[in-house]
């Protein structure tokens, strides 16, 4: 006979936190969100900790090198997607590790033969008002000039006017040369009242742009997640098939931590992958996903440095519908945290837990942490921002970004083409979708973090560890769910818009 669980499988929305006494020192400004990323022994410091408990999902539509640098700048970590050829993934890792804070590769580039219309189109697409003009229109081509919005007037200039006629030519530009430090670049920016300083090599090829606003931002990012060489910390996903080739390439590129990406991590393939990595490389590696104590212990005993929890809860995931497998994220987390805590008490080894998928509201993050997760992994949340790899589109009257599942045909095609096959999968485990465009990562993170900190203060906790111990959590009834939203009033916004 099958084994039956006495309790139903529950999600975050079925729980609420009960406030504890808030002592006077417990204010958001005093809340520390740093959290371990990899296992450590009692009394030791973890080899890698995050400054905020956020990681971005191992997904094509979420975690490339741009997202990884942006998130590390804010104190979290991205795991660069592995559904791409090994060399391309390694190149993304290299870009993050080679990134020098404040120096950015130019993202908007044209040639002198392009027109004013091309400038306007590019600006509309990227939102950048500074365009580098290079001989071949690439970010590393020979720099011939710069165009900013001060160089043209759309009311007066013809739209087919070639860029060469109105750009600021190289001969009139202030620029820096290879090897310049950020503080030297900043001195040039200030003494010449520039918004942007191009950096070129000895052959006049463009290397980077340094923006005044980025320099200020750099100074404003005290939580940046850096290694001992002051490079950003970056993670990468791997699979259980090509790890013997993929892992060496990623390690060579400088990756800090790996994670095995699978919708079902309770498998002998994961054990073999963990053992291969542990016996051949000095790199940290997480595993998953699992939803119960047996799966968790299997991965811990196989050597995982952290464990990812969650099957079927992702916003784009249809695993539960397609295969009838999975578990409510809250139930999975609660059982695994209990097992982890017992393991810690018995062995003195603390295994960080990542709650992966199914975060809909910001408070779900706080609940996941309160239930004992050390950090969360999110896809949908990050896919909405400027920094995610997908283009911003206008659908109807609203801006959206594309977001597709790793188990969708769209994501898996890279591999099928590689193998020479073009037929679709037998069935998909995820969908292709849009998410509402939400602006910049930093702005949204700031808002989410202030909500988390504020709730933690309500719970009397000024660190995640304290929250783990102090949180009091209750199940909500279906009726009290209604009480949680605005109710029995006529909302002004809706009544005005006639909705």
Q: Is 317 a catalytic residue?
A: yes
Of the two residues 386 and 406, which places its CB atom closer to ligand IMP in the complex? 406
Gap between the Cα atoms of 393 and 402, Å rounded: 8
Does position 317 interact with ligand IMP (CB under 6 A)? The reply is yes
> With contacts defined by CB under 6 A, how many residues of the chain interact with ligand IMP?
25
Helix (H, G, I), strand (E, B) or coil at 411: helix
β-pair type (353-356, 306-309): parallel
Q: Which stretch binds ligand IMP (CB under 6 A): 32-40, 112-120, 224-232, 377-385?
A: 377-385
Q: Is 416 a catalytic residue?
A: yes
Q: Which stretch binds ligand IMP (CB under 6 A): 190-198, 371-379, 453-461, 489-497?
A: 371-379
Does position 36 interact with ligand IMP (CB under 6 A)? The reply is no
Compute the least distance from the CB of residue 223 to ligand IMP, in Å.
Answer: 22
Q: Which stretch binds ligand IMP (CB under 6 A): 40-48, 227-235, 376-384, 470-478?
A: 376-384
Residue of 10, 107, 212, 416 marked catalytic: 416
Does position 378 interact with ligand IMP (CB under 6 A)? The reply is yes
Q: Would you tell me how many other CB atoms lie within 10 Å of the CB of residue 183?
A: 9
Q: Would you tell me how many other CB atoms lie within 10 Å of the CB of residue 225?
A: 23
- Interacting residue with ligand IMP among 46, 75, 286, 314 (CB under 6 A): 314
Helix (H, G, I), strand (E, B) or coil at 399: strand
Gap between the Cα atoms of 448 and 20, Å rounded: 21
Of the two residues 74 and 405, which places its CB atom closer to ligand IMP in the complex? 405
Gap between the Cα atoms of 152 and 83, Å rounded: 43
77-111 per-residue burial string, b: 16 or more CB within 10 A, e: under 16: bbbbbbbbebeebbebbbbbbebebbbbbbebbbb
Does position 401 interact with ligand IMP (CB under 6 A)? The reply is no
CB contact at 8 A, 170 and 204? yes
Q: Which stretch binds ligand IMP (CB under 6 A): 85-93, 242-250, 345-353, 403-411?
A: 403-411
Of the two residues 184 and 432, which places its CB atom closer to ligand IMP in the complex? 432
Does position 407 interact with ligand IMP (CB under 6 A)? The reply is yes
Helix (H, G, I), strand (E, B) or coil at 453: helix
Helix (H, G, I), strand (E, B) or coil at 171: helix
Burial class of residue 9, CB neighbours in 10 A (0-12, 13-18, 19+):
middle
Residue of 317, 354, 457, 459 marked catalytic: 317
Compute the least distance from the CB of residue 407 to ligand IMP, in Å.
Answer: 2
Q: Which stretch binds ligand IMP (CB under 6 A): 168-176, 270-278, 353-361, 442-450?
A: 353-361
Does position 57 interact with ligand IMP (CB under 6 A)? The reply is yes
Please report, for residues 41, 244, 295, 303, the alpha-carbon distance to residue 238 in angstroms, rounded to integers and kept in the order given.
Answer: 26, 10, 19, 16
Where helices occur in 176-286 by DSSP H, the ranges are: 182-191, 212-219, 243-253, 268-280
Of the two residues 145 and 313, which places its CB atom closer to ligand IMP in the complex? 313
Does position 307 interact with ligand IMP (CB under 6 A)? The reply is no
Binding site for ligand IMP (CB under 6 A): 57, 59, 263, 289, 310, 314-317, 319, 356-359, 377-381, 405-408, 429-430
Q: Looking at the annotation, which residues are catalytic?
A: 317, 416
């Amino acid at each position: 006979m099958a084994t039956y669980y006495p309790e139903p499988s529950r999600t975050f929305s079925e729980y609420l936190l009960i406030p504890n006494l808030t002592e006077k020192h417990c204010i958001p400004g005093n809340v520390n969100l740093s959290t371990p990323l990899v296992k450590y022994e009692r009394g030791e410091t973890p080899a890698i900790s995050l400054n905020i408990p956020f990681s971005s999902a191992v997904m094509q539509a979420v975690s490339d090198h741009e997202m990884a640098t942006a998130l590390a700048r804010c104190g979290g970590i991205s795991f660069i997607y592995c559904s791409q050829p090994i060399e391309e993934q390694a190149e993304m890792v290299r870009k993050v590790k080679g990134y020098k804070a404040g120096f950015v590769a130019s993202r908007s580039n044209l040639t002198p033969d392009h027109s004013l219309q091309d400038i306007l189109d590019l600006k509309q697409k990227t939102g950048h008002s500074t365009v580098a003009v290079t001989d071949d229109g690439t970010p590393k081509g020979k720099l011939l000039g710069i165009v900013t919005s001060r160089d043209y007037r759309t009311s007066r200039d013809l739209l087919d006017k070639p860029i060469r006629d109105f750009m600021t030519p190289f001969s009139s530009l202030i620029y820096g040369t290879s090897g310049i430090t950020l503080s030297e670049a900043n001195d040039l920016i200030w003494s010449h009242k520039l918004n942007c300083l191009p950096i070129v090599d000895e052959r006049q090829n463009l290397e980077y742009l340094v923006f005044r606003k980025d320099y200020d931002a750099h100074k404003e990012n005290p939580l940046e997640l850096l290694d001992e060489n002051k490079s950003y910390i970056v993670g990468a996903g791997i699979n259980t098939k090509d790890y013997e080739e993929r892992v060496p390439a990623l390690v060579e590129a400088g990756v800090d931590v790996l994670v095995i990406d699978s919708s079902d991590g309770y498998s002998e393939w994961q054990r073999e992958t963990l053992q291969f990595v542990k016996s051949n490389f000095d790199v940290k590696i997480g595993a998953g996903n699992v939803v119960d104590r047996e799966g968790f212990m299997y991965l811990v005993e196989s050597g995982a440095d952290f464990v990812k929890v969650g099957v079927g809860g992702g916003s784009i995931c249809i695993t539960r519908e397609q295969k009838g497998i999975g578990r409510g994220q809250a139930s999975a987390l609660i059982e695994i945290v209990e097992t982890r805590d017992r393991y810690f008490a018995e062995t003195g080894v603390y295994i960080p837990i990542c709650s992966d998928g199914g975060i809909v509201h910001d408070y779900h993050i706080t609940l996941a942490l309160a239930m004992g997760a050390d950090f969360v992994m999110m896809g949908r949340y990050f896919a909405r921002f400027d920094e995610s790899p997908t283009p911003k589109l206008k659908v109807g009257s609203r801006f959206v970004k594309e977001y597709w599942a790793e188990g969708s045909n769209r994501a898996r095609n890279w591999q099928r083409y590689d193998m020479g096959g073009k037929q679709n999968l037998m069935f998909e485990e995820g969908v292709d979708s849009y998410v509402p465009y939400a602006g910049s990562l930093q702005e949204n993170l700031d808002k989410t973090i202030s909500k988390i900190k504020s709730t933690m203060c309500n719970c009397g906790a000024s660190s995640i560890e304290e929250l783990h111990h102090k949180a009091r959590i209750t199940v909500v009834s279906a009726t009290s769910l209604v009480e949680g939203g605005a109710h029995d009033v006529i909302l002004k916004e809706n009544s005005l818009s006639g909705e």
